[in-house]
A and B are shown apart, each in its own frame.
Chain A
Amino acid sequence: MSNSAIDVPPKGGFSFDLCRRNDMLSKKGVQPPSYRKTGTTIVGLVFQDGVILGADTRATEGPIVCDKNCEKIHYMAPNIYCCGAGTAADTEAVTDMVSSQLQLHRYHTGRESRVVTALTLLKKHLFNYQGHVSAALVLGGVDVTGPHLHTIYPHGSTDTLSFATMGSGSLAAMAMFESKYKEGLTRDEGIKLVVEAICSGIFNDLGSGSNVDVCVITKGHKEYLRNHLLPNPRTYVNPKGFSFTKKTEVLLTKITPLKEKVEVIEGGDAMEE
């Protein structure tokens, strides 16, 4: 494309090389591939001893379910977890990034991370990208100041709430919360309500489905219940299993074990801290 004699690789920033081609293709009616989204139901609620987060496990690429059992509850800190809806890559990347920033901050201060720290780091990043980082998050955790639950929108605004839902199934889940939530729920009541809200999203929203993940965070303790409920089991499984017809005859069987290339030396030098 360039006319210079020496081909200099681009120094950084966005490479506009394919823009003309993309433009030409979209004019001809060829749509760009859609992002892998987590058309989702994610919820959080504050109960008597802490925070409970819940999420479904379906990831969609347009009309296709590309992952039947993905993880939408991301680790931020030992006492803080974050559910993510929107573009899967964006939610993963942004939560990973803030999680490492929180870890460094913990080393620096020597204290447990606070939920508002994670909140501020996330909202700064998302506002900076003016909504192009399509991540809608439900952030929850328990720190020295108490239990906290926040929602963060892709453009960077935040809400502090006692119960929150995000994602395409948020209305179905919110209908459950609005009719059944009250303050001071016990752990079991809270989990039951979260599961009901996620199931409402799973069965009433096409973008959500498969299983229910739950995460319970209390002071000094967290429980990540992966696949807490599996309301969509495979119903018709062939009991006979697979059998291949005998078409090829086995003439000779020779097994050559591969030698291990790496030799492990016990008791080597420890890495320097």
Chain B
Amino acid sequence: MESNQSNQHNSLLASEADSQRTLYPYVTGTSVVAIKYKDGILMASDMGGSYGSTLRYKSVERIKPVGKHSLLGASGEISDFQEILRYLDELILYDNMWDDGNSLGPKEVHSYLTRVMYNRRNKFNPLWNSLILGGVKNGHKYLGMVSMIGVNFEDDHVATGFGNHLARPILRDEWHENLSFEDGVKLLEKCMRVLLYRDRSAINKLQIAKITEEGVTVSQPYSLKTFWGFSAFQNPTVGAEGSW
């Protein structure tokens, strides 16, 4: 076939044909929000996988534990997230094979992910994700973020996607050191509720994951209570006919 011949011709010039590069994401997850609290890290995300503007999958787990010390949350292309999980699986496996009593902590995994994302971006074939990596090792809490172009940083509270615009202002105002578990969950739920109201790709089914020195717990999916009873919503056009 013509395309095969041209591929062979171009194999020295371009090892991947254009159709094999990631050009746009297909099945995407929306924001993930995470905070440091007294005993470790709390991370929350909803369970929706959107195919463009359709809500295709409603039970996508976008927060997964990595090794013994870390939690990975991702927004963006779900297939790329699954690929990253495979890479991390291999990484943790090789680390365990050393059998030296040492294990990769969150900082190391974050550094690995930054390299992976940045190198893919340099080849113009990015993994279309914004990742949040949180964990605790030897009493040190770590929370970092990597974007799809390799921008990485560490902070006390991070969010991806829409969460940056809607959740971070709330976190900047109300986060403080040594939040208790209940306060941390309440704060995250506040952020997730605002995202539910104002992000069109968010759904009312979320999971909260917690990681402490003892280990990882990912909660069962649950939904938030919403309030729609404002008086202006009851009869919105009573004063202005023709508006909505």
Contact = CB atoms under 8 A, between A and B. Distances in A.
A160 B194 contact: no
A247 to B, nearest CB: 50
A158 interface: yes
Interface string B23-42: 00000000000000000000
B173 A200 contact: yes
B169 A150 contact: no
Interface string B184-195: 000000110110
A234 to B, nearest CB: 23
Contacts of A157: 243
A150 B242 CA distance: 13
A238 B177 CA distance: 36
Looking at chain B's contact residues, the main secondary structure is helix
Interface string B202-244: 0000000000000000000000000000111100110110011
Contacts of A200: 169-170, 173
Contact of B168 (A145, A178, A196, A204): A204
Task: Pick from A116, A120, A171, A183 the residue with the most CB of B within 10 Å.
Answer: A171
Interface residues on A, range: 20 to 34
A162 B227 CA distance: 13
B46 to A, nearest CB: 16
Nearest to A164: B232
Contacts of B239: 115-116, 145-146, 148, 160
B140 interface: no
B112 interface: no
Interface string A149-180: 11000000111111000000001101110110
Contact of B169 (A162, A183, A204): A204
Contacts of B230: 162, 183
Contact of B165 (A46, A158, A172, A183): A172
B240 A119 contact: yes
A157 B243 CA distance: 7
Interface string B60-83: 000000000000000000000000
B92 interface: no
Contacts of B167: 175
B50 to A, nearest CB: 19
A224 interface: no
A128 to B, nearest CB: 15
Given A116-B240, A119-B243, A174 B194 contact: yes
A162 B232 contact: yes
A115 B236 CA distance: 14
Contacts of A161: 232, 236
A75 interface: no
Nearest to B230: A162
B243 A162 contact: no
B172 interface: yes
Contacts of B191: 175
B226 to A, nearest CB: 10
Nearest to B236: A160
A176 B240 contact: no
A178 B240 contact: no
Contacts of B243: 119, 123, 150, 157-160
Contacts of B232: 46, 149, 160-162
Nearest to A200: B169
A176 B168 CA distance: 11
B197 interface: yes
Interface in B117-168: 162, 165-168
Contact of A159 (B162, B168, B194, B244): B244
B172 to A, nearest CB: 7
B21 interface: no
16 contacts: A115-B239, A146-B239, A148-B240, A157-B243, A159-B243, A159-B244, A160-B244, A161-B236, A162-B231, A172-B165, A174-B166, A175-B165, A176-B170, A178-B193, A179-B190, A179-B193
Given A146-B239, A172-B165, A175-B198, 12 more contacts: A119-B243, A148-B239, A150-B240, A159-B243, A160-B239, A171-B166, A174-B198, A175-B169, A175-B170, A183-B231, A200-B170, A203-B172
List the 3 shortest-distance A-B pairs measured between CB atoms, nearest first.
Answer: A171-B165, A162-B232, A172-B169
